[in-house]
Amino acid sequence: MAAERAVALGGTAEEFSDWAAAPSGKVEEDGGAAREARVLRYREKKKRRQFGKQIRYESRKACAETRPRVRGRFARAAAAADRPTVSGVGTGGSVRLGWVAPPGMNRGH
């Protein structure tokens, strides 16, 4: 039916079959050389991938190094005074680890 429609619009059935063979609407004339080039480029880029740790923002690293931590996690400044010892027993204060609300936000406590 679609071939008949193409003929009715002034084309030929052969032109329609060439168009239907290519999903993008154009026929590759180079015999797949373009695809080979794309695959080769993909493989070369794949070889250069780096999965190691990489610091992207030095300013964020500097800020993180100065923030108080409790057992390796970021903690509030008030909780930093109650730092636990190596054995895990603190100085008696409660340490809250978790989400820190922005100033002025009421958390319902």
Residue-wise pLDDT for 23-58, tens only, equals 565 656 677 999 999 999 999 999 999 899 888 899
**Is residue 21 situated within a structural domain?**
yes
- pLDDT at site 96: 57
Phi, psi of 49, rounded to the nearest 5 degrees: -65, 145
Looking at the structure of the chain, the number of domains it has is 2
Between CA 80 and CA 73 the distance in angstroms is 11
Q: In this structure, is residue 99 part of a structural domain?
A: no
Q: What is the mean pLDDT of residues 54-69?
A: 92
**Helix, strand or coil for residue 64?**
helix
In a domain, 32, yes or no: no
- 12 domain-assigned: yes
The answer to whether position 64 is within a domain reads: yes
Per-residue CA distances from 69 to 66, 81, 97 (Å)? 9, 10, 10
Q: Name the helix (H) or strand (E) containing 36.
A: helix 33-47
Please report the pLDDT score of residue 54 as a whole number: 87
Q: Is residue 2 part of a domain?
A: yes
Q: Is 61 a domain residue?
A: yes
Which of 72, 89, 93 has the alpha carbon at shortest distance from 81?
A: 93
pTM recorded for the entire structure: 0.30
Residue 104 lies in a domain: no
Q: Identify the domain containing residue 11 by its residue range.
A: 1-27
